[in-house]
Amino acid sequence: MSKKRLLTGLQASGTLHIGNYFGALKPFVEMYEEYDSHLMVADYHAVTSVRDPKVLRQNTIDVVKDYIAVGVDPEKVIMFKQSDILEHTELGWILDCLVTVPFLQQAHAYKDKVAKGLEANAGLFTYPMLMAADILLYDTEVVPVGEDQRQHIEYAREAVTKFNNAYGETFIEPKEHILKGTGVVPGIDGQKMSKSYKNTIPLFGTPEEIQKAVMSIVTGTGGEIPEVLHNIHEIVRGAVTNNFTETNSPQKFYDLYTENKSNYKALKEALIEDIEKLIAPMREKRASISDDDVRAVLKAGAEKARERAAKKMEDVRTKVGVTI
């Protein structure tokens, strides 16, 4: 039996944080070998907010290092850069022509980012259709997302319906694989952890950077378990322990917080210790990966992805009518 096709990716828009790890990287590592997996660095999506070419280039290299460092084997996945496959933007334009402005105005991510002060550029507005193109171009069957990203897949399915109704059966409807167990990882201010909100704990930060971020986590006035700190720590502790032991059990974790309700410094130091246990081995692995290693991985992945994308777009162009 052939494996179902899966696609996921991250924007090359900045340093990754532990929310990215728990929301996307870790779940991907745990499932990608079960599928015909595609891992895309969404560098064109990043252009909606990144204006410095040097930063974008470095971010692209960094995100590949990050994936490999957390456990992705480049031999077992097609890892490629979005901009290396020109069919992404070509199909994105075609899909833009099939949906309405009111439809795109309903996108939660767009409204949320604009409300937070991000520039309402046209790329951010049409972002969902480029994302749909990313998915549909490879006849993707499974897209792992968090619950808060479900709408992205709904938009992709709407794009399938629009295109198939206009030009005949061409694309299959992708299904979301909702990542369970983690939920939304809170940032140091209690909102969803996001680079846009500048409330992150860096995934591969130095011990000093991690300490600075953790010590900035919001807490209450004393006498109560600090909810944001507790929620972040619970997620990290679960990843560190995997299978709880007698000396590091759910009860021990509960006791840590009930016994230190007002000792926020002790609780934050315990979180720093657990974060270090989690990321130190990955940080070491990441340091061993060179920029040239990354370029080689992306070149090999692009060749495989391009072959699949070109075949799909040949069919799309014929049906749309641009092939004469």
Q: What phi and psi, each to the nearest 5 degrees, are found at residue 68?
A: -65, -40
Provide CB contacts within 8 A for 80, sequence distance 6+: 38, 39, 40, 41, 298, 301, 302, 304, 305
CA dist., res. 255 & res. 273, Å (int) = 17
Active-site option among 26, 81, 113, 162: 113
- The residue annotated as part of the active site, out of 26, 65, 192, 268, is 192
Told to judge if 113 belongs to the known catalytic residues of this protein, a careful annotator would answer: yes
Give the total residue count for the chain.
324
**Residue of 195, 212, 252, 261 marked active site:** 195
CB 217 within 8 A of CB 229: yes
SS3 content of the chain, % helix, strand, coil (to 5): 60, 10, 30
DSSP 245: B
Structure tokens at 61: 């290299």
**What are the phi and psi torsion angles at 171 (to 5°)?**
-110, 150
Residue 285 annotated in active site: no
- Annotated active-site residue 192? The verdict is yes
CA angle 263, 190, 108 (to 5 degrees): 170
- CA angle 205/207/211 to nearest 5° reads 95
- 3 state DSSP class of 111: helix
CA distance 179 to 158: 22
298 φ/ψ angles, rounded to the nearest 5 degrees: -70, -35
37, 308 contact by CB (below 8 A): no
Residue the block writes with tokens 């699949």: 308
| Residues identified as active-site | 113, 192, 195
